[in-house]
Amino acid sequence: MSDLQPLLARENYLDEEWLMAAQGRCIRAWPVESEPYCGDPSDPASHYRFCTPHDAEARDNPAYGR
């Protein structure tokens, strides 16, 4: 998974988010109780290790910047 973007600082993640991001899984919050995170493979270009559609969405969202 060395082709992914470096992880952000540890304090930016909840414990579960950290584990998923370290595994290259999308940690975009999912508004369904049974599935709190997206979990799709991270896009190599995503600074948040989101999957491709979620990274595109985040880039358009002022709350995430970048």
Smallest gap, in angstroms, from Cβ of residue 36 to Zn ion? 12
Which 3 state secondary structure label does DSSP give 53?
helix
Binding-site size for Zn ion (CB under 5 A) equals 6
List 21, 25, 28, 42, residue binding Zn ion (CB under 5 A): 28
How far apart are the C-alpha atoms of 54 and 22, rounded to whole Å?
A: 17
Which phi and psi (to 5°) does residue 61 adopt? -100, 115
Q: Does the protein bind Zn ion through residue 38 (CB under 5 A)? A: yes
Which residues would be at the binding site for Zn ion (CB under 5 A)? 26, 28, 38, 40, 51, 54
